[in-house]
Amino acid sequence: MPDLDDMLSERPMAAEVVVHARVSAFHTIRVIDIGQRRIMQFERNRQSSMYLDSPFDTDFEYPGFFHIALAIQPKAARTLVIGLGGGTVVKRMWRDYPAMHIDAVELDPAVVEVAREYFALPDDPRIGMIVDDGRHYIEHTPDIYDIVIVDAFDDDRIPLSLTTEEFLWATRTRMAEDGVIAYNVIGSLLGDHSRAFRSLHRTLRNTFRRVWVFNADEGVDAKGNNLVVLATDATLTTDELLARIASRVDGRVTVSAFQHFGDNLYEGPIRTGDVPILSD
């Protein structure tokens, strides 16, 4: 009898179809369809995905973890997202929280155009689309935010200017009381690939009273995963945070399996004595 794994491996894979390609001032951007999945790719890296028959959903796991910010600040009404990609985070928050206003800051105007044309990014008054450098915007905007999400990358690294102590202090001045900042980090908790994450963690701990780390991928990979890091001054215990996650923030959050995201909280030691606080 044929082995099931062999049978599955013999199934034809869906072909990749490039539906759009352009070279902007910052990126080589490709939009690729693989069956029902649509992917935005910069150079060699996948940036965003959606399902053509369900454009608010993605096969990326980490964007759902940003909704933990609602467990820290349940009354959040204004969110800033630095880094647009295909708009996965922006459009899901726009749909799920009808009273929320979301501003998105994206450096590359071509990315905004592609997100609107190919990734169903809504054109709606509750979404403010700003073409700017995220650091410059933070330092000059008069607006105050309940949630700030940093999901911007130069290759597979967050730009240094969005991770330093100076950036975090500037961001604090634009955050409401009990506001929260959330980062998507491609890195590791352990091993040779962990230094960048551990430096960011030390910098956040030096700026905010509370920092939580969620591993958005299975296990603790020594080479690198998506780690979602949240920091706040809110007077909230870890047990209270986990209880809010388990209740889906009293039913407000509809992200698939959100009630189990507390299982991905990393509570082990994070060594920071050998890494610097990040600075300009």
Domain positions in the chain: 14-51, 62-266
- Do residues 103 and 81 touch, judged by C-beta distance below 8 A? yes
How many alpha carbons lie under 13 Å from residue 59 in its C-beta half-sphere?
Answer: 12
pLDDT for residue 219 is more than 60: no
Query: Average pLDDT of the chain?
Result: 92
Residue 14's pLDDT is 78
Taking only Cα atoms into account, the Rg of the chain, rounded to an integer number of angstroms, comes to: 19
Residue 224's pLDDT is 64
- Check residue 178 and give left, alpha or beta (phi > 0: left; psi -120 to 50: alpha): left
The confidence band for 223, taking pLDDT boundaries of 50, 70 and 90, is: low
Residue 207's pLDDT is 97
Residue 154's pLDDT is 83
- Do residues 71 and 245 touch, judged by C-beta distance below 8 A? yes
pTM for the full predicted model: 0.92
pLDDT, mean of residues 205-209:
97
- pLDDT tens digits for range 8-61: 445 456 799 999 999 999 999 999 999 999 999 998 889 999 999 999 999 999
Say how far apart CA 180 and CA 160 lie, in whole Å: 20
The confidence band for 100, taking pLDDT boundaries of 50, 70 and 90, is: very high
Residue 250's pLDDT is 97
Written as six digits, the tokens of 97 are 């929280």
CATH superfamily of 62-266: Vaccinia Virus protein VP39 (3.40.50.150)
The confidence band for 7, taking pLDDT boundaries of 50, 70 and 90, is: very low
In percent, how much of the chain has pLDDT > 90?
Answer: 85
The confidence band for 190, taking pLDDT boundaries of 50, 70 and 90, is: confident
Ranking 2-11, 37-46, 220-229, 252-261 by mean pLDDT, the lowest is: 2-11
Residue 191's pLDDT is 85
pLDDT, mean of residues 212-227:
73
Residue 193's pLDDT is 84
Which amino acid, one-letter code, is at 52?
Answer: L
Say how far apart CA 175 and CA 124 lie, in whole Å: 23
Residue 2's pLDDT is 47
pLDDT for residue 157 is more than 90: no
Residue 192's pLDDT is 78
CA distances from 184 to 44, 140, 148, 235 (A): 19, 23, 12, 23
Written as six digits, the tokens of 201 are 């963690």
